[in-house]
Structure 1
């Protein structure tokens, strides 16, 4: 089924904006209108929700989060970037594993079970896409979702 991913992403942003504002984080987003993908709207919304939820948890105080959705060649690219301490290179490949935590103390501090990114990756892969992260230590972390 073809869904309007632009509308789906915007609807998630609307539900998360208040929390981002409450945490005094700067939030910028740019959503290209009417980008359609084949897939499940609720599942893809869940991916955006997981990425924004993580960004809210791990962004440094007074930090910023940005989200863009745009067409790139034949794919659609969703990018979420947030400021903060970043993820150490040795952890980068493993953050998508179930229950994996780069920092074990995070579980006590932030709650959750370390499943979010594993779930997001599995949803993206079911949609024939790719999810990966890049980080600049002590500056930013970016998550990229490529969907055909």
Structure 2
């Protein structure tokens, strides 16, 4: 229950964009460090973690929120990836855009569910979430973080490959 309350409070604070402080920094370093913190967890899940992070990408961001975003996306990928597979985190500049992608091979997202995944309390497999004390807030939090950084978030599932 404490996790639910924490997540609801975090979601509420993210909706108050005026309290959101963005500072220019090296986004590549922040994302790389966030990925490194998941190495042990990935190893324990028998999953390889690979990063393809372009160096020295400068951006205005909130460090805490970017860490949280990467953590949410990696945690989600670890929960849904097949064992003995690889999760790939990539960060690159494409024109005026910065693209962060987390790719895993595992659970399939049914057609038409991709956009719903970012709604509060939305869960694909409700029975599994009850057993694991999951409330369907993480991707809603991730969505708000991206919106507060003037970005867009999406999910795409082709076969067993899922990209966020």
With structure 2 as the length reference, what TM-score do the two structures score? 0.83
Partner of 1:36: 58
Query: Where in structure 1 are there 5+ consecutive unaligned residues?
Result: 144-148
Q: Which of structure 1's runs of 4+ aligned residues deviate more than 4 A? A: none
SS of residue in 2 equivalent to 1:65: strand
> Which whole-Å CA distance do the structure 2 matches of 1:91 and 1:106 have between them?
17
> Which whole-Å CA distance do the structure 2 matches of 1:48 and 1:113 have between them?
19
Query: Where in structure 2 are there 5+ consecutive unaligned residues?
Result: 1-22
The structural deviation recorded for 1:59 is 0.4
Partner of 1:146: none
1:141 maps to 2:159? no
> Which whole-Å CA distance do the structure 1 matches of 2:99 and 2:38 have between them?
20
The structural deviation recorded for 1:68 is 0.5
Query: Residue 26 of structure 1: which of 48, 52, 56 is its match?
Result: 48
Size of the aligned set, in residue pairs, is 142
1:1-148 correspondence runs (5 A): 1-137=23-159, 139-143=160-164
With structure 1 as the length reference, what TM-score do the two structures score? 0.91
1:107-137 deviations in whole A, cap 9, x for unaligned? Answer: 1343321111000000100110011010013
Matched-pair contact (CA < 8 Å) for 1:3–1:40: no
Root-mean-square deviation (CA, aligned residues, Å) is 1.1
> Which whole-Å CA distance do the structure 2 matches of 1:110 and 1:33 have between them?
37
> Which whole-Å CA distance do the structure 2 matches of 1:109 and 1:23 have between them?
18
> Which whole-Å CA distance do the structure 1 matches of 2:112 and 2:61 have between them?
33
Which structure's CA Rg is the greater one? 2
